[in-house]
Structure 1
Amino acid sequence: MTGQGARAAKTTANRAKMLAAARTLFAERGYTATTMKAIAEAAGMAVQTLYFTFATKRAILSELLDTEIAGDTEPVATMDRPWFDAALAAAPADQIRLQVDAAATIFGRVSPLLEVIRSAAATDPELAELWQTNLTQRRAVQLRLATALTEKTALRNGLPAERAADISLAVLAPETYHLLVHERGWTTADWTAWAADALIRQLLP
């Protein structure tokens, strides 16, 4: 590895250490109580390095959210992911099962972080904006999937795609996942089976 390559690898590794430290502290202490200094100390970095890399605590949280939703650091949007293409190509009930499976996988990674954002959004305007952006993105995904359903079959009671997307948004809300899995002790398999059954019954004729 060249000197430049080694430096790039070290920079990437340090960035990952900072993000991991922030994720743990946000989950344990909440967003407000987690300071940049605490993140730097937990990552074993100088606080100046943390500021140089991310500039703000919100920037750390925003990058963490993107990474946790995607499951990797590749700049590929949700609607360009292989699972999404597979869902669009599937029969109606199978499409619903695939999108529920994807939601379960994503929430398994990101649910604690989304709860941190949701909890802090009430008092922090920047996090309220981040939460709203995430909601808007989730609604766009559900609308595209609902539109695909209407192209394959008439929906229950003539539901339009807009209403079907709202129903999916509610059933697959991170708040619902957090309540049932983290608060009520459901397994991910329990939640997945319930959510798929609920959407199939609500949306398909």
Structure 2
Amino acid sequence: MTEKGARAAKTTANRAKMLTAARNLFTTRGYTATTMKAIAEAAGMAVQTLYFTFATKRAILSELLDLEIAGDAEPIATLDRPWFAAAVEAPPQDQIRRQVDAAATIFGRVSALLEVIRSAAATDPELADLWQTNLAQRHLVQLRLAEALAAKSPLRAGLDTERAADISLAVLAPETYHLLVHERGWTPAQWTSWASDALIRQLLP
């Protein structure tokens, strides 16, 4: 490895350490109680390095959220992800199962972090904005999936794609996943089975 490559690898590794430390603190102490100094200490970094890398605590949380939703660092939007394309191409009931499976996979990574954001949003305007942005993104995904579903099958009587997207947004809400899996002790597989059944019954004739 060249000297330049070694420096880049070290920078990447240090960034990952800082993100991991921040996630651990956010999900155990909460966002407000976690300081930049505490993140730097947990990561074994100088606090100046943390500020140089991320500038603000919100920037750290925002990057963590993007990484955990995607599952990787690739700059690929949700609507361009392979699971989304596979769901859109699938028959109606299979599409619903695929979108629920994808939600379960994503929530398995990100539900604890989303709960941190939701809880802090009540008192932190910046996190309230981050939460609303995430909500709008989730609604757009469900709307595009509802439109794909309606192109393949009639929807349940009385539904249009907007209402179908709202129903999907509610059933596949991270708050519901957190309640049932983390608070009530359901397994992710039980949540997936329930959510798939609920959406098939609610959206299709």
Query: TM exceeds 0.5?
Result: yes
Q: For 2:157, what is the secondary structure of its paired residue?
A: helix
CA distance in 1, matches of 2:64, 2:7: 22
- Misfit runs of 4+, over 4 Å: none
Q: Which residue of 2 aligns with 1:83?
A: 83
Q: Which residue of 2 aligns with 1:173?
A: 173
CA distance in 2, matches of 1:29, 1:173: 23
Q: Which residue of 2 aligns with 1:202?
A: 202
Q: Please list every run of 5 or more consecutive structure 1 residues that lacks an aligned counterpart in the other structure.
A: none
Q: Please list every run of 5 or more consecutive structure 2 residues that lacks an aligned counterpart in the other structure.
A: none
Task: Kindly indicate whether residue 58 of structure 2 is the aligned counterpart of residue 61 of structure 1.
Answer: no
One-letter amino acid of the structure 2 residue matched with residue 157 of structure 1: A
Superposed counterparts of 1:16-165, under 5 Å = 16-165=16-165
One-letter amino acid of the structure 1 residue matched with residue 52 of structure 2: F
One-letter amino acid of the structure 1 residue matched with residue 63 of structure 2: E
TM-score, reference length from structure 2: 0.99
CA distance in 1, matches of 2:121, 2:71: 24
Q: For 2:186, what is the secondary structure of its paired residue?
A: coil
Q: Count the aligned residue pairs.
A: 205
1:117-171: CA deviations, max 9, x gaps? 0000000000000000000000000000000000001101041101000000000
1:46-65: CA deviations, max 9, x gaps? 00000000000000000000
CA distance in 1, matches of 2:70, 2:95: 19
CA distance in 2, matches of 1:13, 1:60: 15
Share of identical aligned residues, percent? 84
CA distance in 1, matches of 2:74, 2:38: 28
CA distance in 1, matches of 2:148, 2:95: 9
One-letter amino acid of the structure 1 residue matched with residue 160 of structure 2: P
One-letter amino acid of the structure 2 residue matched with residue 178 of structure 1: H
CA distance in 2, matches of 1:95, 1:49: 45
